[in-house]
Amino acid sequence: MSAFFRPQPRDSGSQEGGVLCLCLTEDTVEKDLSILEKYGAFADALELRVDCLAPAERGQAGALLRHTHLPVILAVRRTKDGGRFEGGEPERTALLDRLCAERFSFVDLEEDLAAPDLERAAQSKGCRIIRSLYDASGVPQDLAARLRRLARNPRELPKAAVYVAGTAELLSLLEVFSRTRGMEKILLGTGETGICTRILAYPLGSSLCYSTMTKSPDLPGHEDPRTLVELYRFRAIGENTAVFGVTGNPVSHSLSPLIHNRGFAALGIDGVYLPFPADDIGRMLQAARVLGVRGLSVTVPHKEAVLAFLSKTDALVKAVGACNTVLWDSCLEAWKGTNTDVEGFLAPLRGLYGGGILKGLRATVVGSGGAAKAVVYALAGQGADILVLGRTPDRARALAQTAKGRWAILDDSAFSLMESYSDLIVQTTPIGMDPHPEMDPIPGYRFRGREIVYDLVYTTSMTRMLSRAREAGCRIIEGKQMLLAQAYPQFELFCGRTYPGLDA
C-alpha cells in the first residue's frame, strides 16, 4: 500500500492492494456531493477538481470536506494541462492558497509552478504536495528522469499523467514503470490504450488509480469506480495476481472481461482479465510480457497477423489460418496459439439443429477475415457447400478455395447469388458494431423466412441484419451465443478450471 495514502479498513477487512481515487468533476459542490454519496463506498481517496466547478462555486469547495472521512486531493487544473481553469496564475494560486486553509489532505501542484509562499502555507497546514506533470501529446522520452526530479523534498509525491497514443507508447510507459520501480509515485497512462496502467496500478508500482463517474474529454479512458471494483476486482489485484486479457482494435466494447472476471470470482481464482487495445499485435505481445500476461483472447483485426509472433501453434490453427487464443509457455519462453472459434461457432448451430448439422448445407459466409476463416473451416468440416462474399477479391477467392466453394465480391450483384446459398447465412465482419450499429452488411438481400441467419457481432442484442431476418420469419443466432461458446474453453486453457455454471 502507498505510504502516502492509508485508507481506513473497510467492512471486508483492511486493504492490502491498490488505492482507488474518485475524481469529482461536476460543476457544483452539490452535484459532487451526490456523486460522493452514491460512489464514495468504492473509493479510498478523493480528488476535487475545483477547476470543473462553476466560478461562483469554487470558493465553497471546502464544504465537501465536512461530508467525508476520506483524504481529499485539491486540484485546480489549468487548460494547458487538460483542465478547465482559464484564469491567470495569480488568480489560480490565490484560490489554491485560500482553499488549502480548509485542511485538504493533499494539493496537486505542477512541476513548473513557482509559488513558494503557497507551498509553505500548504505544508504548514498539513496539506502534502503532489508535484505533477501532464502531457496530452504522448509519453515524453525523458519521462523517467523528469519523474525522479519532480519532488522538491521527501514530503512531496511525484505524479505523471501522460496520454498513451498507441501500443508503441504503451511499451515506452511500461519502461518508465520499470526504471522507477521502488519509487513512491503516481504514474498513469490516459486514453484507451493506457487502461492497463490504471487497473494494474498496484502491481506496477503506482500509488493511485484514478476513476470518475463523468465521461470527460480531459479524463480520457477513465473507468468509473464501480466498474473497477466490481468488474475488474481492483481491490483483489496484488503482486501475484495472474493477468489475462483480450486484445484487438477496438476492444472497449468487449464482454470478455465480464465473462472471465465473473468466472475467476466464482471460483476464487486470483486472476484479472483486462482489455488491451492494440494497433500493433507484435508490440502488444511485447507489452504483455512486460506485464506478465499469461494468456490473451485475440480478436479483430489481429487473428491472422498474430501468427507471425507465435513460436508454436496447434494443428487447428494451421488448418484454419487464424488464432484467437494465445498462451505464454514458460518452458518455451514464447507464445503459443490455438483456436476456440471453430467449436465456439458450431456449438450454437448444433443446438439449433438439435445436435447434428445437416449434410449438404448451402451456406453464405459474409467476410473473409480471421473470423471468417474459422467459420469456413467449421462448415467445410460439416460437409457444407459454401459461398464466400468479401470486399477484397484475393482474400475471398483464397478462402473459398480452402473449402472448394464459390466466392464473389460483396456488392449488390452478390445478393441474387446468395439465394442459392441461403440455408445458412453467417455474418463475420465488424459491420453492425459500434460506432455504427445501424449498418447492415447485406442491405440488398431479401430474407424469405426459411434461412438460418447467424451474426457474429455481439455488441448489440439485435443487429440490423438480424432484426430484418427475424421480421421475415427466419431463425436467428446472436453473436453472444458464439462469444460464450468460444470463451468457456479459453477460460479452461487460461486457468485449468471448468467455467462455473453462471449466466454470463
Strand partners, 1: none
- Write out the CATH class of domain 20-239: alpha beta
Instruction: Give me the torsion for CA of 220, 222, 224, 230, rounded to 10°.
Output: 150
* Mean of pLDDT over the chain: 93
Shared fold status for 20-239 and 256-339 = no
Q: pLDDT class for 359, splitting at 50, 70, 90? A: confident
Q: Which pLDDT value is given to residue 148?
A: 96
Q: pLDDT class for 8, splitting at 50, 70, 90? A: very low
Beta carbons within 10 angstroms of residue 292's beta carbon: 14
Separation in Å, CA 111 to CA 81, 159, 189, 404: 11, 9, 18, 65
Sole residue written with cell 514530503: 155
Separation in Å, CA 424 to CA 187, 376, 385, 417: 51, 12, 10, 13
State if pTM tops 0.85. Answer: yes
Longest dimension (CA), the chain: 83
- Write out the CATH class of domain 256-339: alpha beta
CB-based contact 161:234 (threshold 8 Å): no
Q: Which pLDDT value is given to residue 461?
A: 78
Q: What is the topology classification, in CATH, of domain 347-482? A: Rossmann fold (3.40.50)
Q: Which pLDDT value is given to residue 205?
A: 96
Q: Given a cut of 60, is residue 68 above it in pLDDT?
A: yes
pLDDT tens across 407-433, in order? 999 999 999 999 999 999 999 999 998
Catalytic residue among 159, 303, 373, 480: 303
For the chain, helix (H) and strand (E) counts, in that order, are 17, 20
Helix (H) or strand (E) holding 247: strand 242-248
404 catalytic? Reply is: no
> What are the residue ranges spanned by the domains of the chain?
20-239, 256-339, 347-482
Mean pLDDT of 196-208: 96
